[in-house]
Structure 1
Amino acid sequence: MSRQMWRNAMLAAALVASGTARAAEPLIPPLPVVKHRIAVKFVVIANFEPGKDMGDEPGEFQLWAEREHLDQVIPIKGALHPLRRNANGLYGMVWGDAGTMVGGVAEQLEALVLDPRFDFRKTYWLFTGISGTDPNLASVGSAAWARWVIQGDTLREFDDREVAKDWPYGLFAIGAARPNALPADPRSFAGYTDSGKLSMALELNQGLARWAYDRTKDVPIPDSPELQRQRALWKGFLNAQRPPFVLMGETLGSVRYWHGPGRTKWAEDWVKLWTGGKGVFAMSNMESQSLAGAMNVLAKAGLVDLDRMMVLRTASNQTEPPPGVSAADSVGDEGPGQLVAYEANYRVGAPVVHEILGHWEKYRDHIPSK
């Protein structure tokens, strides 16, 4: 036995004797120490890309990858897609994949942030993606900067046909006795009744969101004859009939793909409930609640700055059918709206990215606000 092997054996025996290790378990080597981490300036996170990141039909990430020349590919352990970056300090990544249908959204984001090569403590984040939009608020192709991210998964659910006659629907908060009420039952959530601690809403940096909106509110979003024909069906919905525009409004994430006027009413009410009447439902999606939850945990660990997080969603479809059309006939009808939403996502998000990266000496330590 060599001297080093003898030392290792003595160390293992000492650990077992002290109760800090078991005799049958091998010693686990420590994680490598990285002396010089890369201080990341800006990351764009997209939700899915059905094909390649570049060179084929676009998804949510391809326009960013191609137009920003995110040519360098960096594999990340624990993530299904690689990280990409360009020479200007912009990084981009796709979290979604067919393998994430049973989960894995937050885990992939955490894998990125926990990678020992990078330092994300002063990083600005832009979470992008296409969504359904409330026809009372916006039209297909429109882009909304969020002030809150609202979680629409954790709730109580009854069949709408089995609820009390004065209930609008069968969805309501755990710990509440009926819809549109905050938790009040001390037996729920292991005794927690503080609606602040149980909140389904994560408030973003509203000053930063207003600043981003102010810089992009006049960005032109492409229109098309096909979208114009679709908008003509929305008689009585003035905002749904407008050409695509930029607005401020909240994003509601739920793993359920819901659709129809009844659920749109629930979404409007749910956002108002959890933002104290200050937020307005704008965009529905299936990811933002998980990604925001991961960022919240990472921020509490001091690994990211939640005040530097932005969420921009663009509308590929409406959350309910136009007048005279059934929900069953319109669900998933994203058609021409997808391509416009991809384009709007990049065109509205890019000016914010370019401003921060172009004046990094100004924004590194001072978060912009309006």
Structure 2
Amino acid sequence: MHVLANSLVASALALASAGAAWSEPIQVKVFVGSMFEIGENTGDRAGEYQHWYERYWQDAEANDVPGAFAPVHCNDDGVCGSVLGMGKVNASASMQAILLNPDYDFSNAYYLITGVAGTPPSRGTIGDVAWGSWLIDYDLGHRWAPEEGEPGAPVFMPRKGYEDYRVHQLNPDLVAWGVHLSSDVDLKDSEEARTYRMRYPDEAAQATPSVKVGTHMTGDTFFHGPGLSAEAQYMAELYGADDYLVTEMEDNAITQVIKRLHGTDRIAAIRGSVNFDQGNPDETTLQHLDPAPGETAGGFAETVENIALVGAPLVDHIVSEWETWKDGVPEAPKND
């Protein structure tokens, strides 16, 4: 009888030990956050997540996280990712739910915020991928109708109290690593995008896609037109940031959520430009917002592929050199 009892106890302890091992949180090395997927995660038209999924999580199980927009995927190398949802509230709520979930240990994790964006034709073109050096919240402050102010003057004024979260400067060393590791990436382009660029007289707009660095402007409003584009640049200068390079909807908000728990030193953000933030000289802003069939920019499929092509070298390098990276970002590589 005692032998049977001892055997049962031993079996129970073994099961408990195995259960404890299974319940250990996943040690996240890099988390990749995208904002939307068009259909399935693989096998159809790619949105922001599909190329990442096909690269890292084809064989991964989907883990539902309460409060998150979509399941989280992780591979055996500690690379995890999820679709966070579009807009500041949507994406930041998902990020917080994932960060606080006990299935994951983010104590040494790096973050790569990814997605599509718009760009001013004076600084970028369709297919570009821009590393974010600064992230600015476009919505925090005071605005008024242009006719209610001085003619030609800005219609935005910062409001006191938002200083700690309206602007984030990302770690320059991590940005430099991202740029360095993606400097030789061969970016994709399309005939449709090449043709569409020629509608704009700007040299930057007509250029072939490239990797850039600059300010990401986060706003829930899809602002369009030269006036609001100029206002975004005004805000970047007002806050002492780099030139406004892309407009998107989530980066600053996601960064604020991560900052409260883990700081900002390990956050990188990349955005691929799929549209210009204003019309060409021969169309009005409303015509640009509602193009006729066949009049869209093109290049979307190539741009979402470019985003993964540019960001993956940093993800892979961090994982393969984890002993060097786990305690913090190494000194930035020297320019050749």
The TM tier, using the shorter chain, reads 0.7 to 0.9
- Residue 141 of structure 2 is matched in structure 1 by 155
Residue 357 (structure 1) aligned to one of 309, 316, 319: 319
Cα distance in 2, alignment partners of residues 216 and 198 from structure 1: 31
Verify: 1:342 aligned to 2:315, yes or no.
no
Verify: 1:270 aligned to 2:259, yes or no.
no
- Residue 115 of structure 2 is matched in structure 1 by 129
What aligned pairs does 1:174-213 form with structure 2 within 5 A after superposition?
174=159, 189=161, 197=163, 200-213=166-179
Deviations along 1:243-295, whole A, 9 cap, x unmatched?
Answer: 00001111000011100000110011111111x2x411111011112212212
State the shift of 1:323 in Å: 1.9
- Residue 242 of structure 2 is matched in structure 1 by 279
1:251–1:281 Cα contact (<8 Å) kept: yes
- Residue 78 of structure 2 is matched in structure 1 by 89
Deviations along 1:274-317, whole A, 9 cap, x unmatched?
Answer: 1x2x411111011112212212222xxxxx24211100011001
- Residue 227 of structure 1 is matched in structure 2 by 193
- Residue 131 of structure 2 is matched in structure 1 by 145
Structure 1 segments (4+ residues) deviating >4 Å: 332-335
Structure of larger gyration radius: 1
AA partner of residue 309 (structure 1): I
Residue 59 (structure 1) aligned to one of 24, 36, 47: 47
- TM-score, length basis structure 2: 0.86
Query: Where do 5+ consecutive residues of structure 2 fail to align?
Result: 1-19
Query: Where do 5+ consecutive residues of structure 1 fail to align?
Result: 1-31, 176-188, 190-194, 299-303
Cα distance in 2, alignment partners of residues 62 and 232 from structure 1: 30
State the shift of 1:36 in Å: 3.5
Residues 238 and 59 (structure 1 numbering): CA distance in 2 closer, same or farther, change over 3 Å? Answer: same
Residue 330 (structure 1) aligned to one of 288, 297, 301: 288
AA partner of residue 171 (structure 1): F
Residues 120 and 136 (structure 1 numbering): CA distance in 2 closer, same or farther, change over 3 Å? Answer: same
SS of the aligned residue for 1:307 comes to coil
1:210–1:369 Cα contact (<8 Å) kept: no
Cα distance in 1, alignment partners of residues 289 and 310 from structure 2: 26
Verify: 1:44 aligned to 2:44, yes or no.
no
SS of the aligned residue for 1:128 comes to strand
- Residue 183 of structure 2 is matched in structure 1 by 217
Verify: 1:254 aligned to 2:219, yes or no.
yes
Deviations along 1:307-360, whole A, 9 cap, x unmatched?
Answer: 111000110011111222211111266642321220111110111111111121
- TM-score, length basis structure 1: 0.78
SS of the aligned residue for 2:108 comes to coil
State the shift of 1:43 in Å: 0.7
Cα distance in 2, alignment partners of residues 312 and 52 from structure 1: 22
Verify: 1:314 aligned to 2:272, yes or no.
yes
Q: Kindly, what percent of the aligned residue pairs are identical?
A: 27
SS of the aligned residue for 2:282 comes to coil
